[in-house]
Structure 1
């Protein structure tokens, strides 16, 4: 079993990464969906957690009235968000590369909660 004593970096979001944050008329229409998705990607976790985060992104963008964009975004994040690529938007980007898929430990969850509380203050 791998022991990971690393600390997660503070949360950052680049919006919808290399994808527009909205339409020409509403240029931030689905930006909130992407920021929520980034939060999940920042912390990382298991393969199934990533799949769920990606489905939530699709559902969120669909809910703002863009079902075709939602499907396109789902395809993009499934291909481009792999933890195996050393990108700034990969699954688990809050941790040092490589992270791969792995469940968060209690210590890691506590770090994430502390940062969430610190950001709220």
Structure 2
């Protein structure tokens, strides 16, 4: 298992196969972060593999994949704490979530309530 050897820390970027996810993963790796680049297929992994960029198979429609990623992060003996998560993974429009769960691309119910209370975007309303 590769270890985190970057001085700046560990970052996970999902949806790193193409587009903004791939560009984000490459730029963060260039800036000396160790990037776990989430891709859906082995063929995508080879395209993103580079210095400081470690591809991991991460298909968000497969429940075991996020668990494997969490184990990879937790078991990194050299790893500083996870610095950030860049969530660029899309999901097919036919994908349905269980009514009692929420996806990484949707707000959890508590976040909706917080947004209503704060006026959205996490702003804290001014007190009179």
Q: Which has the higher strand share?
A: 2
Shared fold per TM-score greater than 0.5: no
TM-score by length of 2: 0.32
TM-score by length of 1: 0.33
Q: Which has the higher helix share?
A: 1
**Which structure's CA Rg is the greater one?**
2
